[in-house]
Every structure is written in C-alpha cells, then in structure tokens.
Chain A
Amino acid sequence: MKINKIIISFISAAVILLSTSVVSFAKVVGDKIVLGAAISLTGKYSSNGVHTQNGYNMAVDRINSMGGVKVGGKTYKFDIIYYDDESNPKRAAQLAERLISQDGVEFMLGPYSSGLTKAIAPVTEKYGVPMVEANGASRSLFTKGYKYLFAVLAPANLYLDVAIDLAVEKNNGKPVTVAMAFEQDAFSQDVRLGVLDAIKRTGSKKVIDDKLPKELNDMAATLVKVKQMKPDVLVVSGHTKGALTAIRQISEMKVDVPMLAMTHCDAAKLSKQHGKNSQYALCASQWHKTLTYKDNFFKDGMTYDADFTKEFGYAPPYQAAESSAALLVFKDAFERANSFDQKKVRDALAATNMQTFYGNIKFAEGGQNVDKPMVLFQVMCDDGGKCENKVVAPTKWASAKLIHPIPSWSQR
C-alpha cells in the first residue's frame, strides 16, 4: 500500500513537472512563433524605443499578411511579447531573464541602444537564445565572442570615418586637420575610435579632442577652440542633444568650418528644429529612403517610407527601418533552418546572406553586419527655407553632390 502511494505521488510529481516544462517551452504556440523584446517605452530612450517597436510591428504585420513563415511544410505567424525596460539596463536584463525563463521565449529581438543591448546580451548568451538586434551599434558588443547575437546594423566605429575619407578626398588626397567632440558614452566613444582610425589611416591630425558630459547642453568652449584652430573637419557625436546643441551654438557663434559631420541628425529632427541653420551639416545614417536596396516584403526604401508614414503618421527614422529588417532576417533564418531548434536557427542566422530594403545583410564572426556601408547625407535647403536630407556619400548611392567647403556665415 505504502509503496503504491509513493509510486503514485512520484508519478504525479513527474507529470506536473513535465507539464510545466512543456508550458515553459512554448516558443511556438499553435501556428505562432513567439519572439520576446524588452523595449524602452518609457524613460529617456522612449522616443527611439517607440520607433523600434513600430518598426518591429510593421514587419510582423507585413510578413504575417504575406504568407508568414514556412517551417517543415507548415505556415507560422510572428507574434511579439513586449516589456517596457524603462530605459534602464538593469531592468532590461531582468526582463530578458523573465522572457526566457518564465514566458519561455526562445528567440529574442533587441532593445533600443547599445547600453541596453549590452545588458541583455549576456542573458541571451547564457540561455543560448538567438537574438537579432537592430539598435545596438557599439563595437564592444561584437568583440566579446557572443555566439547568439546578430546585429543588422553597421557597427558604431564606421559611422563617421567616411567623413574623414571624404574630407581627405576633397583636399586632393592630402591629410586634413580634425576637431572632435564626443559624448562620454559607449556609442559615441566607439564612433570616436572609428574616426581616430581614419585619422591614422589617412595621416591626418587631430587638433581638438573634447569629451562632452552626459548633461551636455553647452559646448561653447569647444567651439571657441575650433574658431581658434580652424580645423578642416569638425566631428560631433552626442546623440540628439549633441546634434541640436552643436547646430545652435555653431550658428550663434558664427563658427566657420569647411566640413561639419555629425550623428543623430535624423532623430534630432535637425532641419525641423533649426531650419536653415542646419544647412550643410553632414550626417551619418544607417539608412536613407532613397537607397535602392530591394526585397519582396517592403519593395524598397521609398515604398517603406510611404507605407510607414501611412500607418504611423510620421516618416520612418532609420531606427524604425533597421528594426523592420531584423524581422526579415529572422524569417529568412527560420525557413533556411527549417526547424525551431535554437542551435540550428543560430547557425542559419550566422549563414545569412540576403538583401532587404534596408541593405545587404551578412554577419561577421562577431555578429555585426559587414555587408552594409553607412551613408552620409547633407542637409540642403532651398531659398524658401525648406530643408531636405540628400545622400552625398558613398558615391554609389549619392543623390546629390556634396557642397564643400561650407560657405562662411558672412556669406550665408
């Protein structure tokens, strides 16, 4: 009798254990592939967090309505579980744990920003969960030997080195002098390293190398130095506040510099906030709607731009475009792997070689996309004060000719 009882309770315990474990491994429920994402819907990254989420949602709807994902002869649809990470790295890491160990998600999409991706990557790596991210560009993400991290965007060190090459080219191949002002955060410092590499490669010289604080809203001191040293190029990277502060103070202090290269002009809505004062600024961008990459889902950049604007009521910044591309990569990898085995999907992701409307995607050993160059656009305004961003480099994608040097303030 007693032994029977023990056996029964043992079996029921095992059954309970098994049933819970089945529930917690429910990455594919019915015909749904459930992806997890922690995104900054509140906190300081909330505007770009929302762009990211809109990009993801747009791609999910599009892929689902165009036939979904075919694995093992069956059609599946994408679904995403979102959590708000409050722009806080610690919270993001907790949410990644929760998505994986409680919600049973087996595939992840990235958060917004390098800092948060850095917080999540160790968690996804620990559980062997493949993560395709679209908004973490910091170089340090790709040097840690992560096996399950894939980024559809070009790494941060490639953001502005094109600008140095361009300046050298405009200087008839001769080295140039460079003034640099970078915020002290992981991303901007990586951009700086890339610029330093380019300076070394071209034999150029850095004359100013300022680091801007996080609470930055005044860079007058840097600009006074620029006026004194008269460099050939001024490079600024400090997220949206860096871009806005730079343009405001450059125009107010009438700083003349032949080339001004920046990041985050798009996100800062530079030409909207500063109008003609932002003219001639060169901006690094992951994507621009006029690029002629194509795919079957969004057709091309112009169509994506129009569809996105129709759905969300504003033109897509590159943060949205790259987020949409992440879903295309997942779909492609699932179909090639023809399985939901994490290891197989991971290997399929590593072998990705495709074109999307956002650009070519092919991952290097470290997980960064090596097949998509950055583009530089220049803010150009007509006499009526209407400003537009036009791609000027690399030459292959250029839709307008670079205006160089920038006319001095006295002539504007």
Chain B
Amino acid sequence: MDFMVFQYPMISVQACLDGILLGILFALIAYGMALQWGVMNIINIAQGDLVILGGYIAYFMYLYGIHPAWGVIVSPIIMFFVGIAIYKLVINKVVDRDLFISILATFGISILFMQLMNFAFGADVVLANSDYGTTMLFNNNVVLPNSKIFSAFISILFAICLVIYMKKSKLGRAIRATAQNARAAKILGVDTEKVYAATFGINAALCGVAGALISITFTIHPYMGLPYTIRSFMIVIVAGLGNLPGVAMSGMGLGVFEEFADYILGTEFRIGSVFLLLVLILVYRRFKLSRKREYLK
C-alpha cells in the first residue's frame, strides 16, 4: 500500500485527469458493446480483439508513412465491413439462440482473431507514433500527453455523432425499435436482419476507432484484447443498456478507479482491481434485486 497519491495533491489531480481521459476511451468501446448487447442480446467476447485489429490498421498506415491519426477515419470504415462479414458468417446463426451459445461463438471468434493477428502481424509489440507532444499544467506538475487528449476528443466526437445518427436517421430509428421489441419491429416492416448486420458493423467500427486511438496512445499486441473486453463488459454492467450518459460516466469512473488503484495498491493490481470491482458490482446488483423480489412478495 502506498498513499503517496494523497501526500502530493498534484498526483491526485494527475491521476484523476489520466483516469478521465482513459475512461472516455473505454466508454467508446463499451458503448459499442452496449449497443449490440441491447439490440441483439449478444455479449461479444471478441470486442477487445476487434479493438486490437483496428489498432493494427492504424499501425500499418503509420508504417507506410501516413499519419496514424488518419486511422481514426480509415480503421472504422474497414472494421465496419469486417463486422458485417463476421455477422454474416457466424453471428446470424446464433443471434436468436441462447445467450450462452453466443458467448461461446464470440469466444471462438476471439481466439481465432488472436491467432490470425499473431500469424499475420507477428507477436511483436508495436505502436504508432503521433508526435503530438505534451501539455503541461499547474506549473509543469501535471503532464498530459496530447495523444491522450486527442483520443478523448475523438471518442467524444464519435459518440455524439452516433447519438445524433441513432436519433435522426431511419436506420438509427430501426435499430432502436429492434432493441425495444424485435418482434414488433419485424411486424411493422423493419428488416431486422439488416438491422442486426448494421449494428454489428457499427460496433466493429467503434472498436476500430478505439483501436486506432490505442495504437497512438499505448501499445498493441495480438494478445492484448481481453482486458478491453472485460472493461467494457464492466462498464455496461454498471451503466445498463442503451444509456449513453451512464456509459460515459461509468467509463470515466472506471478510468479514475484504475488510476487510483494503480497508485495505492501498485501497478500489479491494476487489472486485478477491475476484476474485483466487477465481482463486487455483480454481488451488489444481486443483493439489490433479491431485496426487490422480497418486497414484491
């Protein structure tokens, strides 16, 4: 245990800001997961692997001399079609089935993606340099890499665009209708098959954006997907489905929680603390539910 974070107030400020910037990025991935969970009732274990694949697209652009920030535009376009392809090949066969079947199927996709990426891109850890420099605050006591600020900004931008799209466009309305009641939507003429494919594509595209941002801010590696899946799962569990402000808040909350856990418990417990929090939240939810049930009796 180390309480340095409380001895130096500037470290707390740093931890909060780092956590919020990181959390916004997590929230973007989680929003994709919430969307598809809500519409299709599928928990996508391969979420993190889609993120990493998106990161590799930005990395390859960087290798060929294109600034990786363009990956934020190119990566989602490619990933959208990857998402549609995955839907057509696998997901459409499990979409109406038991939740357990879809978890198994996406778990399989996750393993396949990891191995394919390892096969295609090698096992090396890679990153894309943006050379964005650094912002210094509070008399140089707090440092924020501009790449992190850029990531947060782009994430917010995409989230806003998506919300507007869901509210205004025809497809957006169809997606929301399907989420509310797939059968009713079908009866009223919504092509649910198309909606499902589009939803999965949009989710993959969001993962693509997040992946490109991660390759700019952190590092990517074929086997690094799972922590992102776990984080987004957790954010969605806390926020609930179809609740974007909730997803954003719980994303930032998780980011800050991780940073403080890192300072206080040590970096080795960073990911572990996320798992612990997940367990605590699930137990708490269950506890709350059971009380409600008693009341109903």
A210 touches B134 (CB 8 A): no
Interface string of B1-32 (1 = CB under 8 A from A): 00010001001001100100010000000000
Whether B267 pairs with A219 at a CB distance below 8 angstroms is yes
Q: In this assembly, does A220 line the interface, its C-beta being within 8 Å of a C-beta of chain B?
A: yes
Q: Would you give the shortest CB distance from A64 to chain B, in whole angstroms? A: 30
Q: Once the chains bind, are A273 and B126 in contact (CB under 8 Å)?
A: yes
B-facing mask of A192-223, CB < 8 A → 1, else 0? 00000000000000000011110111111110
Residue of B nearest to A87 (CB): B123
Stretch at the interface among A39-47, A77-85, A115-123, A153-161: A39-47
Bound complex: CA A375 to CA B158 (Å)? 49
Contact with A along B206-224 (1 / 0, CB 8 A): 0000000010001111111
Please give the distance in Å from A230's CB to the nearest CB on chain B: 13
CA distance in complex: A273, B259 (Å): 27
Select the residue from B18, B22, B222, B268 with max chain A CB neighbours within 10 A.
B268
| Contacting pair A228 B118 (CB below 8 A) | no
Tell me, yes or no, whether B122 is within 8 Å of chain A by CB. yes
A102 to B247 Cα, complex, angstroms: 56
In the bound complex, what is the Cα–Cα distance between A218 and B11 (angstroms)?
A: 16
Instruction: Report the separation of the CA atoms of residues A181 and B267 in the bound assembly, to the nearest whole angstrom.
Output: 9
- B271–A245 touching, CB < 8 Å: no
> Interface centre among A47, A244, A252, by most B CB within 10 Å?
A252
Residue A342 at the B interface, CB < 8 A? no
Pair B127/A248 contact, Cβ less than 8 Å:
yes
**Closest Cβ neighbor of B14 among chain A residues:** A224
Q: Which residue of B lies closest to A215 (CB)?
A: B227
Could you tell me if B124 and A252 are in contact, using CB atoms closer than 8 angstroms? no
Contact pattern, A 68-88, Cβ under 8 Å of B = 1, otherwise 0 = 000000000000000000010
**Cβ–Cβ contact A244 & B127, under 8 A:** yes
- B121-138 to A contact mask, C-beta < 8 Å, 1/0: 011111101000010100
CB-CB contacts of A220-241 with B at 8 A, as 1s and 0s?
Answer: 1110110110000000000111
Q: Which residues of A contact B136 (CB under 8 A)?
A: 254
Interface residues of A in 299-330 (CB under 8 A from B): none
Measured CA separation A241–B263 after assembly (Å): 20
> How many pairs of residues, A versus B, come closer than 8 Å at their CB atoms?
103
Which B residues lie within 8 Å of A43 (CB)?
118, 123
Does B119 reach chain A (CB closer than 8 Å)?
A: yes
- B270 is an interface residue with CB less than 8 A from chain A: yes
| CB–CB B218/A245 < 8 A | yes
Q: Find the residue from B123, B259, B263 having the highest chain A CB count within 10 A.
A: B123
Is B147 located at the chain interface by the 8 A CB criterion? Answer: yes
Whether A186 is near chain B, meaning CB under 8 Å from some CB there, is: no
On whether the beta carbons of B125 and A211 are closer than 8 Å, the reply is no
Nearest A-chain residue to B222, judged by Cβ: A44
Query: In the complex, which residues of chain A have a beta carbon less than 8 angstroms from the beta carbon of B15?
Result: 221, 224
Q: Is B145 an interface residue (CB 8 A)?
A: yes
CB closest chain-A residue, reference B136:
A254
Given the complex of chains A and B, what is the CA–CA distance between A11 and B66 in angstroms? 76
Q: Chain A: which residue is nearest B261 at the CB level?
A: A221
A254 touches B123 (CB 8 A): no
> Which residue, B4, B124, B222, B226, has most C-beta atoms of chain A within 10 A?
B124
Question: How many angstroms between the C-alpha atoms of A288 and B123 in the bound complex?
Answer: 23
Q: Is the CB of A46 within 8 A of B122?
A: yes
Q: How far is the CA of A87 from the CA of B136 in the complex (A)?
A: 42
Q: Do A44 and B219 have beta carbons less than 8 Å apart?
A: no
Contact present for A47 and B124 (CB under 8 Å): yes
Q: Which residues of A contact B8 (CB under 8 A)?
A: 228
A244-257: CB near B (< 8 Å → 1, else 0) gives 11001100111000
CB closest residue in chain B, given A275: B129
The answer to whether the Cβ of A355 comes within 8 Å of any Cβ in the partner chain is no
Q: From known contacts A215-B224, A245-B219, A254-B134, infer whether A42 and B268 are also in contact, taking CB-CB under 8 Å.
A: no
CB of B267 within 8 A of CB of A215, answer: no
B164 close to A (CB within 8 Å): no
B245 at the interface (CB under 8 A from A): no
Interfacial residues of chain B within 218-237, with CB under 8 A of chain A in the complex: 218-224, 226-227
Contact of A268 among B125, B129, B218 (CB under 8 A): B125
Q: CB of A290 within 8 A of chain B? A: no
A42, A211, A217, A224: which contacts B218 (Cβ < 8 A)?
A217
In whole angstroms, how far apart are the Cα atoms of A47 and B127 in the complex? 16
**Interface residue B191 (Cβ < 8 Å from any Cβ of A):** no
Of all chain A residues, which has the CB nearest B130? Answer: A252
A274 contacts the other chain (CB 8 A): yes
Closest to B220 in A: A217
CA distance A240 to B11 in the complex (A): 28
Shortest CB-to-CB span from B160 to chain A, Å, is 26
Cβ-based interface call for A140 (8 A): no
Q: A43-B123, A253-B143 are in contact. List 19 more A-B contacts (CB 8 A).
A: A43-B118, A44-B123, A46-B118, A46-B123, A87-B123, A213-B268, A213-B269, A213-B270, A215-B227, A217-B224, A220-B259, A221-B15, A222-B267, A244-B125, A245-B218, A252-B134, A253-B134, A253-B145, A273-B127
Instruction: List 3 tightest A-B contacts by C-beta distance, closest first.
Output: A252-B145, A211-B268, A221-B262
